[in-house]
Amino acid sequence: MNDEIHTLSGAYALNALPLRELGEFEGHLSRCEACTIEVRGLQETAARLGVAVAEAPPRALKSRVMAQIAEVRQEPPPIDEEPPVAVVPLRRRPGRWALALAAVSAAAAVSVGVVAVNEIRSRDASIEETQSLLAAPDAVVRRVAMTGGGSATVVASESRGKVMFTSDLPALDPSRTYQLWTIGGERIRSAGLVDGGGVRTATVDLPPGTDHLGVTVEPAGGSEQPTTEPVMLAKVV
Amino acid sequence: MGFVNDVVPISVTGRSPELDELLVLVARGDETAFERLYDRLIASVFGLIRRVVRDRAQAEEVAQEVMVEVWRTAARFDPARGGAMAWVMTVAHRRAVDRVRSAQASSDREDRVARMGGEVAYDHVAETVTTRLEGERVRRCLDGLTELQRQAVTMAYYGGYSYPEVAGLLKVPLGTVKTRMRDGLVRLRDCMGVER
């Protein structure tokens, strides 16, 4: 357990983390059972501080709320998806995926550092680009396990010629970097470098004939070809 | 103006299975359950928001947003992962903090800092708290914290400040504030007898 990040549980329960650290800590929470249990207890505690200052609102508030909920559709229950999952054509899963991923992308766009390598661009996806990708009739969405814990979501569309990768990536030693690869048969092409230490989203070109997207850890600056075992490999067709 | 006066107080000491059940029913679209949940929680929700946002009209707006969000997203509530009261209060606190942080032009922030000092929140809280039986316990537990723990926790929770802001206001290192928030909350948790 990383003691430094673990100390943030109090600030998290008090909703006092700046955006950047919020993403990191939530990523950490998803992998740290002990932290999750502690946070729960601290949130229950913080809630009691709120109950202690209870104050009656105007009665009219209730009629406004009741009138409004009559016109607000509820979210369906979340579907528990354990990695890996089968390819899911987007049209079968409307709304939730698109919204969640667009939100992830928008949040990531604030602080993501994605570096171009070679001539292939790897950069933050704009919301429009993400929506366009998700709306593609042939979009495939996969959630796959990452070696060492956590998961990644990959959205690919052959017709749009793009693939989006998003994951909460653990920080790496500065001498190393994550590198994305598009793989088609024997052909492996670098798709760019991504740093770690939080939620990262990158949309890259999907060359014709690509069947997999891979991620490896490489020396800083990237490699011509992968030099280590992939930490993630996702089918994109 | 009419005010709600039939609000059932919620025990500070324990989790309410009844509230959990209500929220589960709400997730299935049960408007009657939502109304009962509203009656049980609205005073806590509104009081907290008002403490953070301060402006009464804005607090009403935020409270309305929060209760509609509770309705809309109730399916995300999982009783295995915590109680309904904490779930709703977490939503309320986030919304309240979002409101003050987004409204914070720098001059506005200066005003809030000047108004709040660094201890006003607690004093103000203490007044309100004494009027309620449940609050007595919270106050006693707050009194059991060190000065720095108490300030760090109350400035974040009631003031809506991020921990770097609290560190700046109290002129203590970031790491110290993080640690005091955590050990302060841990001490409160143990004092209040929150289930783990």
CATH number at B190 reads: 1.10.10.10
Nearest to B89 among A17, A47, A62 (CB): A47
Largest CA distance in chain A: 69
Convert the pLDDT of each residue in A129-165 to its tens digit.
777 888 888 888 888 878 777 788 888 888 888 888 8
User: Do B99 and B119 fall into the same domain?
Assistant: no
Chain A residues within an 8 Å CB radius of B157: 14-15, 46, 49-50
Same domain for A94 and A66? no
Would you list the DSSP string of B105-159?
-HHHHHHHHHHHTTTHHHHHHHHHHHTSHHHHHHHHHHHTS-HHHHHHHHHHHTT
B1 occurs within a structural domain? no
Query: Domain check: are A168 and A98 in the same one?
Result: yes
Domain boundary pick from B69, B103, B137? B103
Query: Within this chain, do residues B128 and B184 fall inside the same structural domain, yes or no?
Result: yes
Q: How far is CA B93 from the centre of its chain?
A: 5
Q: Count the domains in chain A.
A: 2
Residue B23 token pair: 């929220």
Residue B112 or residue A169, greater confidence: A169
pLDDT of residue A126: 67
Within an 8 Å CB–CB cutoff, is residue A14 touching chain B? yes
- For chain B, residues with pLDDT lower than 50 are 1-13, 105-107, 109-110, 114-131
How large is the ipTM? 0.82
| Phi, psi at A223, each rounded to 5° | -125, 160
A82, part of any domain: no
Question: Under an 8 A CB cutoff, do B192 and A55 touch?
Answer: no
Least CB–CB distance from B75: residue in A47, A53, A77: A77
**A12 is a domain residue:** yes
Domain that holds residue A108: 88-235
- Say which of B76, B97, B189 has its CB closest to residue A41: B189
What pLDDT does A152 receive? 86
Residues recorded for chain B: 196
The pTM is what?
A: 0.59
Note down the domain range covering B18: 12-103
B74: domain CATH number is 1.10.1740.10
CATH number of the domain that residue A3 is part of: 1.10.10.1320
Q: Which residues of A touch B94 (CB under 8 A)?
A: 15
Q: Are residues A206 and A231 in the same domain?
A: yes
- Give how far Cα A102 sits from Cα of A98, A161, A199, B181, Å: 6, 18, 13, 33
pLDDT of B129 reads 43
Question: Are residues B137 and B95 part of one domain?
Answer: no
- Same domain as B163, residue B127: yes
Task: Report yes or no on A81 lying in a domain.
Answer: no
Same domain, A17 and A125: no
CA angle centred on B23, ends B19 and B29, rounded to 5°? 145
Residues 19-38 of A with CB under 8 A from B: 37
Question: Of A47, A74, A101, which marks where a domain is finished?
Answer: A74
Domain boundary, last residue among A74, A106, A121 = A74
